[in-house]
Amino acid sequence: MNVSAHPNAQGSPLGKPAAYVDTYAPGLLFPIARQGKRNEIGIRADALPFVGVDSWNAYELSWLDPRGKPVVALGRFRVPATSPNLIESKSLKLYLNAFNQYRVADTGMLRAILARDLSAAASSAVDVAVMPLAARPARRSAYPGGFCLDTLDIDIDTYRPCPDYLRAEGAATSETLYSHLLKSNCLVTGQPDWGMLVVRYTGPAIDRAGLLRYIVSFRQHNEFHEQCVERIFCDLLARCKPSALAVWARYTRRGGLDINPFRATPGADGGWNDNDNEIRQ
């Protein structure tokens, strides 16, 4: 699928050669309306079935101090799931690179610029943290507490989303199930996106083999990270009818960025911590 085939992609840098810009250029940011893909899975704009956030980590963030000395930092951007727009990832990479030769008074000023521009693109307030490496910021790699579905000895032959695999029955239980076998493809370029998916719920016991087959069924599916997680959340909610549900994915980085969408029924944060790394991140 090429960029011109996507209705929201006119003017997007995705799938096109992009000149390197090394000084501040907020016009590089490219928003994509969420509602079009939400309509496909029956999500109404005025009645979202979830709360959540898209937590981005930026590993290639740099700028110049007032004397021309480079500063390098980690960035973290939290885009609320209620925002009308998501931000296309290549455009964010190009935008961040545009600070490489741009002089900024201090870290607080950079944070304010990023928050202003990202919030304008998302049409909602985006929380921004900037952590210079000189201050020795720390993150940890961690595995979810729960059962890894990847150990199941099963046959799989379906690689397009198949919610028919999802079923649950019996007495209510609370558990965490996860898999490192999530793979989907960029909606526009078809390039692979790799991730870990975590499902934490309370309700009738979800069939584990069916859930793993369902997760793997995204392997040839073209959709953005955020959209895949929302589709998975809605399929689980409809098919398994949990009383509480949290779904999140930790995608590996591309272009110095990783994207970690989180969706949950209100109050079901599931212990999600967006400061934890998946080992491949």
Contact 181, 210 (CB under 8 A): no
Q: Are 203 and 240 within 8 A, CB to CB?
A: yes
Tokens found for residue 193: 């996106």
The one catalytic residue in 186, 228, 234, 240 is 186
Angle, alpha carbons 233-238-241 (nearest 5°): 95
CA distance 5 to 82: 26
Residues in the chain: 281
Q: How far is CA 195 from the centre of its chain?
A: 10
Distance in angstroms (rounded) separating the CA atoms of residues 24 and 97? 8
Active site (annotated) includes residue 193: yes
Q: Which residues neighbour 268 within 8 Å (Cβ) at sequence distance 6 or greater?
A: 200, 201, 202, 244, 245, 246
Mutual angle of helices 208-216 and 225-240, in 10-degree steps: 150
Rg, Å, the chain Cα set? 19
The dihedral over CA atoms of 42, 226, 145, 235, expressed in degrees to the nearest 10, equals: 20
Catalytic residue chosen out of the listed positions 54, 148, 164, 193: 193
Strands (E), 16-109: 31-33, 51-64, 70-80, 85-87
d(CA 158, CA 229): 19
**Residue 50 contacts residue 264 (beta carbons within 8 Å):** yes
Query: What are the C-alpha distances in Å from 89 to residues 28, 115, 279?
Result: 11, 16, 21
Question: Catalytic residues, which ones?
Answer: 186, 193
